[in-house]
Structure 1
C-alpha cells in the first residue's frame, strides 16, 4: 500500500488489518519499508537489544542505515547488554544509537525513594527509569517501532502491525507480530548476528539485572520480575505504571 502517514490524531485502525503476509519474514520487511517511507527520519526505534531487537536492527539498517535507535539506559543493565551494544555500533556504524538515561541517577533515586527501589516498588522504578525517559525521547515523534510479538504474552496477543499508542500519544509500529521465538533465532543464525550471551544461559527475555533471572523452561517473557505480580514495565500499557 502507499506509504500514507498515519498519525495519532487521524488513526482509524491498522491499515494492514486485512493483510495476511505469506513471505519468509512474515511481513516485517514490508512494514518497515512502509514505516520509513511514511515517517522517514522522524521514526524512532526503541530497542532493548534483546533477540527481537537484534533482528529488527539488522532489517532496519538495510532500509535506513542512519536510523534513530533509542536504548533506555537505566543504569542497571547487565554488562553483557552493554557489551552487545558496542558490537552493534561497530557492525552498523551509521546507525544513530542514543543511550537515553533517566533524570535521576541510581544514587539520587536511592536518596529520594530508598535503596533498591526495584525491590520495594518495581512499578515506580520502571516509571522513573524507563517510562519517563521514553516519554522524553518520543515527545513530538509521530511514530516509533517496537519488537512486540503476539505469542509473547496474553497482553500482547492482539497487537497489530500499526497501533494507536495511548501511552505516548504516538503510532506504534510492530513488524514482528506474527513471528515465533524460533523465527527470531532462525534469522539470527542465518544472518550470523551478534546477540546477548545471556540468551545462552537461560535468559529468554533480558531487562534490568536486578529484575531479570534465568529460567529452565518457559515462555519468552520468563524470568522477568519473578516473585511479583508484575509482568510488564509499563511501556506497552495504555496508562502510566506509576502508582
Structure 2
C-alpha cells in the first residue's frame, strides 16, 4: 500500500537533501529508483528540461515510467514530440486526460476561451484540465519526478531536491533543481535529444496553445505563459503549488 504519511522524518529528509545536493543527476535518479522502484514516475510537460531529465532517467532505468497530462489543447508540435519520444526511448507514455464531463460542463457554462477573462477563470480551466488529472495520475505513486529548476524563479527558487508533497501524499523529486537553462539547452544539443521545435521559435516554456506565446529578448523565461496576466510571480497552473505539512 502506498504511504499516506511521510516515510522520512524531517531530520532524515534534511540529511537526504544534503547528500543529494552534492550528487549528480544520475545519482539522484538512482536513489529514486532504489527507494521507490516502480512506484516512481516522471511527470513531464515535454518541455526542454523534461526531455533532458527523461534522457538521464532512461539511462538509469530503461523501464523508467513517463507520465504526461494531455489537456486536449496542446500545440501540434507537442503531440509530434510525444511520438518522437516514444520512438526514441521505446517508452509507453502514460497519458492522463481531463474528465470529459467536466470539460463539457465548463465549456457549456463559460465558453471555449473564457480563461482570457481574469486569473480566476484561467485557474478554473487549469484546475479542470491539469490539476484534477494530475491528482489521478499521482494517486498510486510513491514519488513523482519533475524538471523544476530553481532558476525558473517564483516559489521554485527555494525547492529542495526531495520534498514531501502533502497535496498528493507522496514525494516530489526535482533532480534538475541546480541546473540552469543554458545547461539544459547544451545537454539536449550534445545528446541529440528530441525536443519541441517551438523552442527554436522563441518559446522557452510551453503549455496549452492558447495560453503560450513566444517571448522577446530580455523577457523572463516564463513571460510567455498567460502573458495577459499582470502578476509575474503568479505564473503557475496549480500543479506545483506547495502545501505545508500540518503541524
Show structure 1 runs of 4+ deviating over 4 A: 5-8, 105-108
Shift of 1:117: 3.4
Tell me if 1:100 matches 2:96: yes
Structure-1 residue corresponding to 2:239: 235
2:116–2:228 contact (8 Å) kept in structure 1: no
Check 1:219–1:15 CA distance in 2 against 1; reply closer, same or farther (3 A cut). farther
Per-residue CA deviation, residues 27-73 of structure 1 (Å, 9 max, x unaligned), is 21111010011111110111000000110111111112122211100
1:55–1:184 contact (8 Å) kept in structure 2: yes
TM-score, reference length from structure 1: 0.88
Cα separation, 2, equivalents of 1:35 and 1:6: 15
Check 1:116–1:41 CA distance in 2 against 1; reply closer, same or farther (3 A cut). same
Structure-2 residue corresponding to 1:193: 193
Task: List alignment gaps of at least 5 residues for structure 1.
Answer: none
Structure-2 residue corresponding to 1:84: 81
Structure-2 residue corresponding to 1:45: 42
Greater helix proportion: 2
Structure-1 residue corresponding to 2:177: 177
Cα separation, 1, equivalents of 2:185 and 2:63: 25
Tell me if 1:31 matches 2:32: no
Cα separation, 1, equivalents of 2:46 and 2:133: 17
Matches within 5 A, 1:1-243: 8-11=5-8, 12=10, 13-19=13-19, 27-93=24-90, 95-104=91-100, 106-120=103-117, 121-217=121-217, 218-228=219-229, 229=231, 230-238=234-242
When structure 1 is superposed on structure 2, of 137-146 and 106-115 the one drifting more is 106-115
Secondary structure of the 1:66 match is: coil
Shift of 1:237: 0.5
Shift of 1:116: 1.7
Cα separation, 2, equivalents of 1:6 and 1:139: 11
When structure 1 is superposed on structure 2, of 160-169 and 170-179 the one drifting more is 160-169
Cα separation, 1, equivalents of 2:82 and 2:202: 20
When structure 1 is superposed on structure 2, of 70-79 and 8-17 the one drifting more is 8-17
TM-score, reference length from structure 2: 0.87
When structure 1 is superposed on structure 2, of 5-14 and 136-145 the one drifting more is 5-14
Check 1:136–1:162 CA distance in 2 against 1; reply closer, same or farther (3 A cut). same
Per-residue CA deviation, residues 68-112 of structure 1 (Å, 9 max, x unaligned), is 21110000000000101100011011x231121010265443114
Cα separation, 1, equivalents of 2:94 and 2:18: 35
Task: List alignment gaps of at least 5 residues for structure 2.
Answer: none
Aligned pairs, how many?
231
1:47–1:146 contact (8 Å) kept in structure 2: yes
